[in-house]
Every structure is written in structure tokens, then in C-alpha cells.
Amino acid sequence: MRASRYLSATVKESPADAVIISHQLMLRAGLVRKLASGLYTWLPTGLKVLHKIETIVREELDRAGALEVLMPTVQPAELWHETGRFDAMGGQMLKMKDRHDRDFVYGPTHEEVITDIARNELSSYKQLPMNFYQIQNKFRDEFRPRFGVMRSREFIMKDGYSFHVDQECLNKEYDNMYQAYCRIFDRLGLEYRPVLADSGDMGGDASHEFQVLADSGEDYIAYSDSSDFAANVERAEAVMPAGERAAPSAEMTLTDTPNAKTIADLVEQFNLPIEKTIKTLIVEASEDSEHDLIALIVRGDHELNEIKAEKLEGVKSPLEMAPEEKIRDVIGASPGSLGPVNLPIPFIVDRAVTLLSDFGAGANIDGQHFFNVNWDRDVSYSRVEDIRNIVEGDPSPCGNGTLKILKGVEVGHIFQLGDKYTKALKADVLDQNGKAKTMLMGCYGIGITRIVAAAIEQNHDDKGIIWPDAIAPFQVGIVPLNAHKSPEVMEVAEKLYTQLQELGFEVLLDDRDKKTSPGVKFADMELIGIPHRIVVSDRGLADGLVEYKARKDADKSEVKLDEIIALIQSQTNR
Amino acid sequence: MRASRYLSATVKESPADAVIISHQLMLRAGLVRKLASGLYTWLPTGLKVLHKIETIVREELDRAGALEVLMPTVQPAELWHETGRFDAMGGQMLKMKDRHDRDFVYGPTHEEVITDIARNELSSYKQLPMNFYQIQNKFRDEFRPRFGVMRSREFIMKDGYSFHVDQECLNKEYDNMYQAYCRIFDRLGLEYRPVLADSGDMGGDASHEFQVLADSGEDYIAYSDSSDFAANVERAEAVMPAGERAAPSAEMTLTDTPNAKTIADLVEQFNLPIEKTIKTLIVEASEDSEHDLIALIVRGDHELNEIKAEKLEGVKSPLEMAPEEKIRDVIGASPGSLGPVNLPIPFIVDRAVTLLSDFGAGANIDGQHFFNVNWDRDVSYSRVEDIRNIVEGDPSPCGNGTLKILKGVEVGHIFQLGDKYTKALKADVLDQNGKAKTMLMGCYGIGITRIVAAAIEQNHDDKGIIWPDAIAPFQVGIVPLNAHKSPEVMEVAEKLYTQLQELGFEVLLDDRDKKTSPGVKFADMELIGIPHRIVVSDRGLADGLVEYKARKDADKSEVKLDEIIALIQSQTNR
């Protein structure tokens, strides 16, 4: 590509609402432009990156035996009524009426449509497993779209769905997709982690997220320092700590704590170690419980994990904190003074809490706490569960090493959906015995547009983007220096341009005229993030040399003109 | 691809609402499935064809210097208000409100969005010409979607838009795109014609359609039997016929014609040659005319061309036939008895009408006609225009040969839009003199999904589709005969399968077990339209032979096993 015939669309500044680096750099490097809130046009440079990602995704899924299809973006509402999600999706789903006043939606996802296809096209276990995918626009009407394409409304997703006659078949395909996803992210050249995840609203049983590591990520990932274990912090198990509970060393005392409304107050005013305190949180009980409320107790320095808690028997799901007034009515004290001793409702303690001795806890009397509480002697628990977020230093649930925490951007997610949709839509096949059987489903997503942003979050410096070779819009940039003064410079540049293209490289030749200074040309190439740059100059050619610089390295080097192509080939493994 | 792991989705019957052959075959061959009226899912076989078409389109447009972008499908209504098309597009445009109650549309086309991008990104004549394209879903809410993907609501289109500083620059790029389109349709392997077209609602000055020839096409194409001239019948000029008008041979007579309400009646009852009659059609005059109505006169055997007529000075546009009551008020006779003699309103005669002598025409008195009317002697015309559709046998407007008519399916359309959108959206650049200048635009569309249907309309027989090699879902099919009885048959088939794939062919190996009969396998391959078929059988292998058949040929042949790959290569020019 010649820069003079290209729309590079680089700009110096990004608007104030671009707060994360990938959003800023995607605007500055001319990858995208905002059309309206959460709606972006992909300009030539950005689209080249998108296409490369799509190609890698397609090749690996085809290799794994998945079949590509393409469903309409506009879907009839009837199917969403069949699964009950027409209302459940809420404001996120863009709804519309056609000219005949029939209800349609712009697909935020395609479980309904693909299951409709499966129930029509699949009739026998012999056709299974069958794994369909598509790469396509989705629309989710985010209340507050932000971070550019990271959380836009219209976006491109690879969504895949597999169908199975039994759980064994589903497990096998789930593993097949897990491996395919690893190959995809390996080939994209990104540092990532597949992590155990919660399957959230989608329902289902097993779930992994693929997280691209980046300091600005919104997700926290726990991983073992001594094994492959990794899980979303929301999902990582906090195992029973090793060791035994220390014996009581003092009598329990009831103490006036009029100014201690929080754990922090208590620790500060009474010189208590925070690990010797507990938090007693009151939530609504599930409908089938004897009591209206139930208490959840975690150590003072730990956080309740709502996702773990709401899955427990006796706890209302989704989790709902009890209103203060109701707590006062039932327990007779405010949230700042609650504890297990004399608590008139059932309670669940976190595993870490069971090891405490001589700890402080609210007395269920306003303005008073018990100090030196000890289990069994002063109060007993009947139920122990994992109800907290893990923290750095916790033992890894895999049994090897301790946990560390990283931040990541979720770019892929695989689920086992079970029969949630196939049951609702009656998607049966005949099994080996000729009996109708509801199919089981797996579901596999990749955020194609989001990968572009995640790649930039992970790979940039103060000059711009640093693309991995595999997804760079151009692999090589050529800058002829002061070509207007030297025809030879332009001749050599053109020759390299042609040769590299013939070898299959995508090359940007900056042939803009002298009104564009060399400094601007260098800055544009660094901003756009082209991995390999060749500078052709009069002075260099006098010695038979050109200059080479890898975008990721600080140093540049002088290379013999007749060796530069071999160097680029070796740098790119071609 | 192994048939056992594929969803071929072939079926015996197509539903009654599939009336055209491409619609029937696309359903029967498992290319698409209907989700709802005008909404289709592309199954694996269909999507393979679509992708091949997209790749060819992309390669040729990139080669021609166009830059690919990707705009959102969902567009803010504001832009459509700026050009006045929010209301003008009518029910065809799917409109919606987002969760904040703001108006959006699902883009039926993207002139507004691309012009918005151009006004933001292009500032100097030096950046021009700039030609952007995208390949993307569109939605047009057809009142009565039909013919499968030929006239669906959601469809995939390549839409392109070029920007220019002056008409010369636009003409050059228009020609560049014309050539690129020819290369695209050549490569697709379709018989097509680029034809002069009317630019219709889009506005603008020059326009060509690319028509794939097919008996079921909805468009009529006029072409010269002795030159390259071709034009949509709507648009083809009917030139002044050669020869001179014959002298009058009889006196004009007023004749009672009480039962002749139509030309056919007149011809039948009075033994008049139809070429010696005229039709006098009354339409509304344009607002600036002196009269309310104006008459248009064509020969009895010719059809009025409304598109030509409504462009004439003095004629209301869009054309509106006058209501009968108004005709009676103004002229004093009913539509069945009108003619130029004693007509109280102005009239325009078609070129062919000027050569008539001794012709019949209504007398503007109910139930009476004049016979043997002669121009100048009995009545004079003052205005001659081309206002009829051409017919086969007319002289070609290019001056060479006579016109013939074919039917075609419109699959591409290129326009010169001029400044229609750039003016409305104030898309200026600075010209050579540093002055702001409104850019000129060209617009270039290809109906990607429609090409699939058009290709089938042109290439099929009673067994199914006959794909051109370039867009076949698989180039080669391999059928191992009775493989369960002979391991060698399957071994040879597998080996050919691997070798052909390594050579870059896409191959369908029909490895379905013995429950699928050879007859079904052959029928499926013919229905799907795979261009080259190899049959491996025990009997053939005994003589070192396999069977080869080209889908388009009636005959099959025995080929030596070690020559079959070379044969396939030579058949496909690889």
C-alpha cells in the first residue's frame, strides 16, 4: 500500500471520553471512528487487523471440525418468547417492529436461532456431535457504552454452538474447543490465560474464560505460582486453610464500642488485628427456608463472594442484602454490631473463619462487641462454606503453590449449556435405541472486535501500538528519506516494496511528498505499530546500507541492502 | 470435508412458496434455510459459495485501489434527517429506538454514513480520489419478500463510494470500477452484460447495471446484435426510424366505433394493421404548465416508457395517469376514443409515430374514430420525443445492428451520484487553489447474496445446480462405492482425498455408511452441483481405473487411477 493512496487517518489527540489506552490509540492510529455512542466505523487500518483475527479464528475452528454458518442479525421475537428470554434480556436487547408490526430483535446472541436450526436439521445421534459457528455483528444496547470497541453496542463476535447426544460427547467437544481456543490465542501472539469461570446467566455447568493479560483489564484472574491453575477471582475456590485452630487464651468480654460502626473503626480504636475480626452480613433467605434472613460470616479482611454465596442452599438467588430496618426488627441491632453470639437466625461461616480464636465480633446489641470470642466455648457454627473471594497468597485449590492475581480482558468464553435451550425449544434426536432424547449444548464465544483492543492494551508504549506480527495491519513499513532529492532512494524503496509484496508481506510504503516530514512519517509508523521498519536514505545507500528497526526494540541497525529482505524473513519466521 | 461430519442438509422437496428455480434449489441443496419472511440462515454449503464470491470481489476491488472499511449496520437517524431520506425511504427502512429512546435505523444503504466519514477525514484534493467499500449486511423491509435470497429483507451487499474533486476525476474512477466489475463477473464464471441503466431514486448522472443473463430474470436487457451496446430496456433509446413517411392515400373519415374501447378491438373489428394505429395517453402536466393535462402518443403496438416520459419538460414527475373523470371534463371523451385531431391539450408524439400515414386514431368523441389520418394534412404535431420502450428489431442506438432482448438478474449497479449527498452533508475539500469545493461522489454496489441465486438461475439442470468452478462449494466430490465390502476402495478414496486437498482443492468425500445408497450419494452431489466427481469402485480398481464425470457434461469416462489428479488439474486450469 502506498501512503499517498491510503487513508491512514492518524491524529495527534484523542477526545476526552477516551480514557483507556486502547481506545485512545485506536482513534489516534486511525483504526476506528465513532459514529454514535457505542457505534464505530472500522477504517482501513483497523479492518485489516480485524480480518487477520477473523482468518486465524476461522482456520482453527475449521481445523477443529466446526462448520461455519451465517444466521440473520434480525430475529423474530417468537423464538425468544419460546425460551422466555424476550423479557429476561431486558433493555440490553434492541427490539423493533417491521412494517407489518411484527416484533423482531437485533440478535445479542444466537442460542435461540441455532437451536431452531438444530431441531429442524438434526434428527439422529449419528449426526452428532455437530458444532456450528459464525462470525457476525451483534448488538447489545449497553446502558453506558464506553472504552471504545471494548464495550461497544454493535460488535463482531464469533459465536459457536455444539450439539450432543450425551454428556460424554459434550465433554469431548468442550475439550476440543478449549484446545482450539488455545491455538487461536497462541497464533494471535497474545499473552493470555484460560481461566475457570462462572457461567453466569447463560446457565450450564462448566465454563472457561480466555483472558488477555493487561494492566487495564476489568477482570481479576487468580493463578497458581507453581502450576497451570487459573480461575476468575469470582470463581476461584478459597480452600480450607492449613493448620489447626489455636486454643482460647482469654475470657470472652462484652465491650462498649459506641463509635465502632465498621471493621476499620474496631481495628483502629481497639488495636485489634484485622485477621482477628469477623464481618457478619445479613442476606435474604431462600423462599423455602424457615427463617426470613440468613447470616454470612467472613473474616474482617476478606470480601464476601456473592456468586458463591447465592448458589448456596438457603440463600436467595440472586443475592439480596437485607434492608437495615428488617435487620433491626429481627435481630434487634444495626448492621455495625452483628455477630454469631446470640444470633437469632441461622448463619454460615467461611472456611477461614473456622480457624479463628480470641476474635472480635458484634454482640447483636447496638454499640457493643464481644472480644476474645472462641468457637465451641462461646458459640458454635453448624455450617461451613466457601463464601469469600480469594486473595493473593491463598493456597491454590489445585494443591500446588499459592495464588497470585493478575488483571485481564475477557476475549473468549466457553460454556457447557446442558439442555437449557434444547429443552425449551424441544430439540430432540433419536438415540442409539431409537428413543427421542433432548440434545445437550456447548457454547463458544470470541469477541473479535474486543481482541483488537485487548491486543493494544497488552502491547503498546508511549509512541503507539506494538502489534504482534500475526495481526499487524502491515508487517513492514518503508520510509524513503528525502526522496525528492534523490531518485535512487525512491528506486530502492520501490524495489524493496515490490520484492517484499511478492514474498507475501503487507507493506506500507510512505511515498507522501516532501510536505510530510520524515519525523511525521516515523511517528505515524510507530503509532500504527508496524512491526518492521526499513529506512532508505541517500547517506545509507552510499555505503550500500539501509536502516532496520523492529517496533518492539529500542535500537535500530544498519543492514546491507542485499541482506535486508533475508533479515525481515528471519524476524518473521517466513 | 467428510460427508459423515458435514451438514449437507439436502432435501427432496421445496415448499410451495419457492416458485423460482434458484429458490427451490437453494433449499433443496441445503444452501439456506428460512428463519422468517425474507430472513435466511446460510448453512455451510451456501456460506462456502458466499465466501468465494466475497473473496473475488475483495481481491479485485483491492487491486483497483479501493479501500475496505466497515460501518455499523445500526445508524443514527440524525444523518438521515440531514439528507431528508429519513422519511423519503418510507416503509422499506427498518427503524428502531434504543433504550434511551433515540431514533436509529438498520442501514438499507450507507451514503449518509460514508459521506459523514468523508467530510471528517478528507480535507484536501490531494487525498482524492478516495474509494471506500464494505461487504456487509443490509436490511430493506420489502413489503412482500420473495424468491428466497433474490429479494430478501436481510442480505449481504458490497457497497462502495468514491469521492472526487471534479467530474473528470469521477469519470476516471467510474471507468476504473466498470473495469473492476467486469473482472469480478468474469472471474465468477457467469455470463453477464454491463448495461446502461436508469439511475432511479439514487439521483445522479451516469449509471450501469451488471446483469447476469437468466431466463427467469426480472429485468429486460436490450443489446445490439452487431456491437457491445447493451442497456436496460427501461433506459434504451428508441432512435428515429429510418425511411420517410409515405404520402397520404385516402381521405380522413369519421367512423362509428361503438364497440372499440381498445386498440385490440379496433384492429379486430376494422381489420386495421396495429402499426397503423396510435394510442393517446393522457397524463398530468407539470405544475409550471399552462394546461393541467398533456397527451403522450405512441404507436398501437408500442408501450409507453414511463421513465423516459416523466423526465420530459411539461410532464409531471413521477408520472401520473390522468383520472378518467378529469379526461372527460377536459376533452369531452373517454380514454377509449382519444386522438390528436381536435385535441384541446398539448401532445407529444413518439418518434415512430411521425412516420405513420393513413393511420387510425380516436376522434375525441365517444364511440368514434378517425381513419386514414395523415400528419400535416389533417393535424400537425409540434413536439417529437423518445417516449416508448424499445422492441426487438429496433435499430441499435449505437448505430450498429438491431436490438435483441434478453432477461437478466441485476447483480451489480454503478452510479455517478454527483453532489447529491456531499452537498446535503456539506462534504467539502480544499481544491488546488485553496478554495472549499463540494466533493463529487460515485456509488458502486454488488448484491453478494443475490449473485448466488443468479448463478443458479443461469446454471442448473433437472438434477440440480451446476456451479462454475470459481464459486463451487467443493470443486471435487469423491464417491467410494460399496466401501464396506472393500477396504481398498476406501483406501484409494482417502488417498485421493488427501492428495487433492494438499493441492488446494476443496473436496467432499462421501464417506457415509452403507445405509446411504450410492444412488442417494450421486443425487446429492449432483444437486449440490460439485463440478468434478470421482467414483472409486472395486470393479474399476481391478483394472486400475476410476470413473470421472464433469457435472456440466452428460458423459462419464474411465480414467487411469494415476492420471485422475492430472485430469482434474487440467479441467480446472490449476
Q: Nearest residue of B to residue A139 by CA position? A: B74
Nearest CA distance, A135 vs chain B (angstrom): 12
Contact flag A91-B68 (C-beta cutoff 8 Å): no
In chain B, whose CA is at the least distance from the CA of A2? B65
How many contacts does A have with B, using Cβ atoms within 8 A? 132
A270 min Cα distance to partner chain B (Å): 51
pLDDT at B71 over 90: yes
Task: Measure CB to CB from residue A117 to each of B41, B50, B98 and give the nearest one.
Answer: B41
Q: What kind and span of H or E run contains A182?
A: helix A167-188
Q: Residue B204's pLDDT is what?
A: 44
Question: Are B40 and A7 in contact (CB < 8 Å)?
Answer: no
Give the orientation angle of helix A448-458 with respect to helix A44-63, to 10 degrees. Answer: 110
Report the residue from A43, A104, A106 with minimal CB separation from B69: A43
DSSP A429: E
Of A9, A71, A73, the CB nearest to B73: A73
Rg of chain B (C-alpha set): 30
SS (H, E, C) B155-212: EEEEEEEEEECCHHHHHHHHHHHHHHHHHHHHHHCCCEEEEECCCHHHCCCCEEEEEE
Task: Please judge whether A121 and B9 are an interchain contact, meaning their C-beta atoms are less than 8 angstroms apart.
Answer: yes
Overall average pLDDT of the A531-547 stretch: 96
**CA closest to A128 among chain B residues:** B5
Name chain B contacts of A7, Cβ cutoff 8 Å. Answer: 67, 121, 127, 130, 132
Check CB contact under 8 Å for B50 and A70.
yes
Nearest to A117 among B33, B67, B72 (CB): B33
* CB-CB neighbors (< 8 A) of B73 in chain A: 73, 137, 139, 154
Interface contact B41-A139, CB threshold 8 A: no
In whole numbers, what is the pLDDT of chain A averaged over residues?
94
User: Measured in Å, how far apart are chain B's first and last C-alpha atoms?
Assistant: 20
Task: Sort out which chain B residues have CB atoms less than 8 A from A72's CB and list them.
Answer: 35-36, 39-41, 154
Q: How confident is the model at residue A17 (pLDDT cuts 50, 70, 90)?
A: confident
Question: Could A106 and B117 be called an inter-chain contact, meaning their C-beta atoms sit closer than 8 Å?
Answer: no
pLDDT over threshold 60, residue A199: no
Report whether the peptide linkage leading into residue B129 is cis, meaning its omega lies within 30 degrees of zero.
yes
Percent pLDDT > 90 in chain A is 89
B224-267 pLDDT, tens digit per residue, is 999 888 888 888 899 999 899 999 999 999 999 999 989 999 99
Q: Shortest CA distance to B398 belongs to which of B195, B214, B192? A: B195
Give how far B93 is from chain A: nearest CA, Å.
9
Which residue on chain B is closest to A1 by alpha carbon? Answer: B65
pLDDT of residue B199: 55
User: Do B71 and A7 lie within an 8 Å CB cutoff?
Assistant: no
pLDDT over threshold 50, residue B297: yes
Peptide bond into B318 cis (omega under 30): yes
- Nearest residue of chain B to residue A65 (CA atoms): B5
Task: Tell me whether residues A41 and B70 touch, CB distance under 8 A.
Answer: yes
pTM > 0.90 = no
CB contact under 8 A, A121 and B7: yes
Place of cell 395517469: B321
Please state the rounded mean pLDDT for residues A423-448.
97
Q: What is the ipTM of this complex?
A: 0.87
| pLDDT value at A366 more than 90 | yes
**Cell 423482531 belongs to residue:** A104
Cβ–Cβ gap A33/B121 under 8 Å: yes
Q: Which of B69, B99, B120 sits opposite A44 (nearest CB)?
A: B69
User: Could you say which of A39, A72, A104 has the minimum Cβ distance to residue B74?
Assistant: A39
Q: Which of A118-122, A211-215, B544-548 has the lowest mean pLDDT?
A: A211-215
Q: Is residue B205's pLDDT more than 70?
A: no
- For residue A206, name the pLDDT band (cuts at 50, 70, 90): confident
Q: Do B139 and A74 touch (CB under 8 A)?
A: yes
d(CA B320, nearest CA chain A) in Å: 26
**Torsion angle in degrees (nearest 10) through CA of A32, A33, A39, A44:** -40
| Å between B91 CA and nearest CA of chain A | 6
- Partner residue opposite A91 with nearest CB, options B99, B113, B130: B99
Asked if B117 lies within 8 A of A141 by C-beta distance, the reply is no
Residues B11-23 as b/e (b if ≥16 CB within 10 A, e otherwise) read eeebeeebebbbb
Q: For residue B35, give the nearest of A72, A92, A130 by CB distance.
A: A72
Are B392 and B338 contacting, i.e. CB atoms less than 8 angstroms apart?
no
- B330-359: average pLDDT: 96
Across the interface, of B76, B96, B141, the residue whose CB is closest to A35 is B76
Quick check: A334 and A262 in contact, CB under 8 A? Answer: no
Q: How far is B113 from chain A (nearest CA, A)?
A: 8
Whether the pLDDT of residue B201 is over 50: the answer is: no
Mean pLDDT of A10-23: 92
Which residues of chain B are within 8 Å of residue A67 when distances are taken between CB atoms? 6-7, 44
- What is the residue type of A192? Y
B47 contact residues in A (CB cutoff 8 A): 68-70
Residues in B closer than 8 angstroms to A139, CB to CB, are 73-74
Nearest to A482 by CA among A541, A536, A548: A536
Most B CBs within 10 A among A49, A67, A138, hence the mutation to make, goes to A67
Respond yes or no on whether the N-terminal peptide bond of residue A473 is cis (omega within 30° of 0): no
Between CA B251 and CA B235 the distance in angstroms is 38
**Which of B39, B92, B152, B159 to probe by mutation at the A interface, max A CB count within 10 Å?**
B39
From B34's Cα to the closest Cα of chain A, the distance in A is 10
- For chain B, what is the mean pLDDT? 94
Q: How many helices (H) and strands (E) does chain A have?
A: 15, 30
Question: Please, what is the angle between helix B167-188 and helix B44-63, to 10°?
Answer: 140
pLDDT in tens, A495-511: 999 999 999 999 999 99
What's the rounded mean pLDDT across residues A50-68? 98
Residue of A nearest to B96 (CA): A96
- How far is the alpha carbon of B61 from chain A, nearest alpha carbon, in Å? 13
pLDDT of residue A349: 97
Interface test with B, best of A28, A35, A149 (most B CBs within 10 A): A35
Of A36, A47, A76, the CB nearest to B76: A36
Q: What is the per-residue DSSP string for A497-539?
A: HHHHHHTT--EEE----TTS-HHHHHHHHHHHT-SEEEEE-HH
Residue with cell 497462541: A186
CA distance A52 to chain B (A): 14
| Pairwise CB contact (< 8 Å): A94 & B94 | no
Q: Which residues contact B519 (CB under 8 A, 6 or more apart)?
A: none
Q: What strand order describes the sheet that includes A278-284? A: A278-284, A293-299, A347-350, A384-385
What pLDDT score does B202 carry?
Answer: 44
Chain A positions touching B104 (Cβ under 8 A) are 36
Kindly report which listed range (A23-27, A91-95, A228-232) carries the lowest average pLDDT score.
Answer: A228-232
Verify whether the Cβ–Cβ distance A130 to B69 is below 8 Å: no
Three-class SS of residue A146? strand
Q: Spell out which residues of chain A touch residue B103, defining contact as CB-CB under 8 Å.
A: none
CA distance A504 to A510: 18
Are A429 and A165 a contacting pair, CB within 8 Å?
Answer: yes
- pLDDT band at A483; cut points 50, 70, 90: confident
Query: How many Cβ atoms from other residues are within 10 Å of residue B553's Cβ?
Result: 10
- Residue A154 has its nearest CB partner, among B41, B67, B72, at B72
How close, in Å, is residue B117 to chain A by CA atoms? 8
